[in-house]
């Protein structure tokens, strides 16, 4: 019989890199939107809060904009802007227009025109 000896610290390090066992989805579980699932799995440190969504919405109230316009105006990366736009599109607030331009949907636009 042979035995493996190692320090507890080394064992904990090895276990921290392995993925935990995934439980099968329970019956009747609520399905999350794809954006929320992506946000939880890929970007756990970058939660999207309502203030960020409102900032994008307020910028689009003045005029339609490209993602690049939003990046510069809101000082966000392309991925951050895209995640917020996708979430607003799922809510029905923002629409993707021809020419890679984003704008508010008619029912959410409160403009002077």
CATH of the domain at 59: 1.10.10.10
Neighbours of 58 (CB within 10 A): 10
- The structure's pTM equals 0.54
pLDDT tens digits for range 11-55: 777 777 766 666 666 555 555 555 555 554 555 455 677 888 888
How buried is 2 (Cβ within 10 angstroms: 0-12 exposed, 13-18 middle, 19+ buried)? exposed
CA pair distance 103, 22, nearest whole angstrom: 40
pLDDT at 101: 92
The residues, ordered by sequence, that sit 6+ positions from 6 with a Cβ below 8 Å of its Cβ are none
> How many separate domains does the chain show?
1
How far, in Å, CA of 71 to CA of 68, rounded?
Answer: 5
Residue 12 lies in a domain: no
Range of the domain at 82: 34-105
- 48 inside domain: yes
In a domain, 111, yes or no: no
φ/ψ of 88, rounded to 5, equals -70, -35
Averaged pLDDT of the chain: 76
Q: Which residue has the higher pLDDT, 92 or 37?
A: 92
């Amino acid at each position: 019989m042979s035995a493996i000896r190692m320090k507890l610290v080394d064992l904990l390090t090895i276990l921290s890199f392995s993925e935990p066992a995934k439980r099968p989805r329970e019956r009747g579980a609520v399905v999350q939107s794809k954006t929320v699932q992506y946000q939880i799995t890929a970007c756990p440190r970058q939660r999207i809060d309502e203030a960020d969504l409102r900032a994008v919405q307020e910028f689009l109230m003045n005029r339609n904009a490209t993602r690049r316009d939003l990046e510069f105006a809101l000082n966000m990366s392309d991925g951050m802007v895209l995640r917020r736009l996708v979430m607003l599109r799922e809510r029905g607030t923002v629409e993707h227009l021809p020419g890679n331009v984003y704008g508010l949907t008619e029912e959410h636009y409160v403009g002077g025109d």
